[in-house]
Amino acid sequence: MQLKSLYKPVRILSFIVLALMLIAALYAFTMTGLHWTGINV
Amino acid sequence: MRYKSQSVAYWYFAVAMVLFGLQLVFGLLSATKYLGPDPLLYILPFDVTKVIHTNLLIVWVLTGFMGATYWMIPDESRTELYSVKLAYIQLILWTLMGVTAVIGYLFRYGTGNKLLEQPLPHKLVIVICMLIFLYNIGMTIKRSGRFTTTEGVLVLGLVSSAVLFFPALLHYENYTVSIFYRWWTIHLWVEGVWMMIMGGFLAYLLIRLSGADREVMEKWLYVIVGLVFLAGILGTAHHYYWVGVPYYWLPIGGFFSALEPLAIVGMAMYAYGAMRRSGLAHPNVLALHWTLGSAIFTLFGAGLLGLAHTWPSINKWTHGTLITAMHGHAAFYGAYAMIVLAMISYALPSLTHGRTERGSSIGYWAFWLQLGGMFGMTLSFATAGIGQVYLERIMGMGYLDAQLKIQIHFVMLIVCGTLFSTGVGLFIYDFFRYRPRFEVSEPEVTDNEVAVGRVV
């Protein structure tokens, strides 16, 4: 019972998570740009 | 890998990696909300993203602890796990619990008790998983008849964690009473018994990576256990300062929580001493980076930054501000995230095909980017927190007005958070880059080999 066949689906899931991380970072930078003039710099 | 059943750890680590990545998604979304009006306000408000961020942290770190234990116990007790099947059942139940809890939070299904938001059915599943886990570990050790101090401290930490989860099952109408008992779980976990778990893993890794003397390492473990019982338990009082409990908690919290860093200093000292004595001969230098990094970052995040605001006279101003977030991020990352990543880095060459023992350049990039990113995030929280304390608590400015004045620090937080996320992303990519291996790669240990000093 070693669940070898699960490697591929979990690996695909890891790429989805990596993509979500990238989207979250891009979203954060986009919001930084949009709010730049309102931020007390 | 000396025992086939150790391979079960791979799947625990894989689940932990996926949840770690998701945790950062919600962390970035939470940080963004400090910058201005957020289009996601009514879909993913701050309270939801923050709950998911903190809960995923606890779940992935515990998943990592479980995987690392399933790796370490057979190695220490020199036997196969009692039941691989039980370990997989536990992992499936645990993962389902974690995933459904997160989905539930998206629909505001939770208890509202900070860090223990899981609804009662989920908490009961956690109890079942812990019982399966402890039974499996206990039977493995019992069957082998070999019980080292290192695994003794680890098991004591795990059993205590399970016992201390029970106050979390109870519901209190009175908010002060609820907070009073909440810390019996949260504080006694992260500043008490989890330190034993961390100490167990740290000793295991140092013995194997640096060739340090087991007897010396295990004596330090006794010191850590003693300090956990003395300072860790009574140090709970530093959460009781301003929550409606009697005044006498102030001196108790002030004195004993100031002693808490001693255990951490002890850990860092023995890590450094071991490194100097050993000559660093082990080929897995990447795991050694994570192991020593964990001890040093714990000293910084938990020790130094904890001490910075634990005194009642300072905590009066900083309690519940971004100064807490500063300490929390650095302490949790150093003590628990890094030690799990150290165990993964140590086990991974044996658990996968084609990976070099020394580690890849991606692995080193992951290490340094995470360290730099987390250091920057800690400084961002610190600068924002200091501003917040002066503007809001000392000058009396309103909460939202003060937040507007410190917004710039959240730009720095997002930049450093992205740097940190890049490091984590590389670690996750590196983890899944090679196929898992489920065959034994090293011969089993015999008593004769131990006698001649070939194994520790």
pLDDT in tens, B291-350: 989 999 998 999 899 999 999 999 999 999 999 999 999 999 999 999 999 999 999 999
Interface test with A, best of B23, B407, B412, B424 (most A CBs within 10 A): B407
Measured between beta carbons, the chain B residues lying within 8 angstroms of A10 are: 14, 18, 432
- pLDDT at residue number B15: 97
Contact A31 B7 (CB under 8 A): no
B386, burial (CB in 10 Å: exposed 0-12, middle 13-18, buried 19+): middle
Q: From residue B99, give the alpha-carbon distance in Å to each of A25, B31, B75, B105, B149.
A: 22, 22, 31, 10, 35
Q: What is the pLDDT of residue A41?
A: 57
SS3 sequence, B156-203?
HHHHHHHHCCHHHHCCCCCHHHHHHHHHHHHHHHHHHHHHHHHHHHHH
Work out the number of other CB atoms within 10 angstroms of the CB of residue B143. 13
What residues of chain B lie within 8 A of the CB of A17, using their CB?
18, 21-22, 25, 428
For the entire predicted model, the pTM comes to 0.94
Q: B441-450 long-range contacts, Cβ below 8 Å, gap at least 24?
A: B441/B1, B441/B350, B442/B1, B442/B2, B442/B350, B443/B2, B444/B2, B444/B3, B444/B78, B445/B2, B445/B78
Share of chain B above pLDDT 70, in %: 96
Residue with the two structure tokens 């010396």:
B216
Instruction: Please provide the average confidence, as pLDDT, over all residues in chain B.
Output: 91
ipTM given for this complex: 0.94
Smallest Cα distance from B175 to chain A, Å: 35
Question: How many whole angstroms separate alpha carbon B34 and alpha carbon B37?
Answer: 8
Q: Which residues of A touch B407 (CB under 8 A)?
A: 39-40
Do A21 and B404 count as a contact with CB atoms less than 8 A apart?
no
pLDDT reported for residue B144 = 94
Rg over alpha carbons for chain B, rounded to the nearest Å, is 22
Structure confidence at residue A1 (pLDDT):
59
pLDDT of residue B274: 75
Contacts of A2 in chain B (CB under 8 A): 7, 438
pLDDT at B266: 77
Residues of chain B short of pLDDT 70, as ranges, are 278-281, 443-456
* Look-up of token digits 């750890």: B9
CA distance B391 to B401: 9
B interface with A, Cβ–Cβ below 8 Å: 7, 11, 14, 17-18, 21-22, 24-26, 28-29, 31-32, 35-38, 84-85, 88, 404-408, 411, 414, 417-418, 421, 424-425, 428-429, 431-432, 435-436, 438
* Res. A32: pLDDT tops 50: yes
3-class secondary structure per residue, B273-285: HHHHHHCCCCCCH
Number of Cα atoms under 13 Å in the Cβ half of residue B92: 8
State the Cα–Cα distance between residues B337 and B324, nearest whole angstrom. Answer: 18
- pLDDT number for residue B269: 79
- Cβ count near B35 (within 10 Å): 22
CB distance B35 to A39 below 8 Å? yes
